[in-house]
Amino acid sequence: MLSRPVPGNKHYRFMLVFAATFVFLSLFTSSLEGASVSDLTLIDMNGNKVSLFDVTGNKTLLLYFWATWCKPCRLATPQIVALAEKYNDRITVIGINVGGVDSPKDVKKYGKRHKITYPLFIDSDNQMIEAYSIHAIPTVILLDTDGNILFRGNELPENLEQFLPK
């Protein structure tokens, strides 16, 4: 028979922490939808400074936060590559390597091995992680041409077409 959680009981504390975490994450995630984000300067694989929104042109931007050591990221890479090719005329994909472990050499090698054609950047100073509140990878963020967040998740949305301009 299960005991009912009561104050002071470890099950009660667990339930309380779990509920508070769930509520906080729900509120935090929903507050990001449609939020405007500032323009950031990144360093590309050749050491050049590039403005995030200069890279996009006048397209929807997909930020893909990943790392070479992340198994779910390795599984998602073919989907991101296919998406970048399929919607090349309507979306700009940017891969942002995070986690502080991969060197530019590692990232370039990974890009070649997986035939990645979209630009890759390394977030060596955690600027992007902080700006976009990245807590887990992979993370996908879709931004409109004004920098407003259209979608945020740990995988591509099933209904991606609804977020893209016609």
| Catalytic one of 70, 93, 129, 137 | 70
| Catalytic one of 73, 80, 83, 107 | 73
User: Is 73 known to be catalytic?
Assistant: yes
User: Is 70 known to be catalytic?
Assistant: yes
3-state secondary structure 42-109: EEECCCCEEEHHHHHCCCEEEEEEECCCCHHHHHHHHHHHHHHHHCCCCEEEEEEECCCCCCHHHHHH
Active site residues: 70, 73
